[in-house]
Amino acid sequence: MSEARQRVDVWLFQARFLKSRALAARFVSDGQVRLERAGLISRLEKPAHPVQPGDILSFAHGGLICRVEIRALGVRRGPAAEARLLYELR
């Protein structure tokens, strides 16, 4: 049984942290996102890196450092209320 996974750039776009998938891909490629999984922290540099529920992402957003736990994977880029269900602020 494999756990559901999704590309980090797609997840950031669907969770409404960035306005386009291209911006999300560039954001990750520039090394601005860190992933914490099972106590290990790594800097992501590939937009295709898979993320899953339970992972914690850290990145600068709007002049603040955001630390979010992925609660669910998105199916589409929906309204803000729907996107808010995809993560929990830490």
Task: Say what the pTM is.
Answer: 0.93
Contacts of 12 (CB under 8 A, 6+ apart): 18, 24, 27, 28, 33, 57
Domain ranges of the chain: 6-89
Q: Model confidence over 15-62: pLDDT tens digits?
A: 999 999 999 999 999 999 999 999 999 999 999 999 999 999 999 988
For every residue of 73-85, DSSP letters joined together read: --SS---HHHHGG
Strand ranges for the chain from DSSP E: 6-7, 33-37, 40-44, 50-51, 56-61, 64-70, 87-89
What dotted CATH number matches 6-89?
3.10.290.10
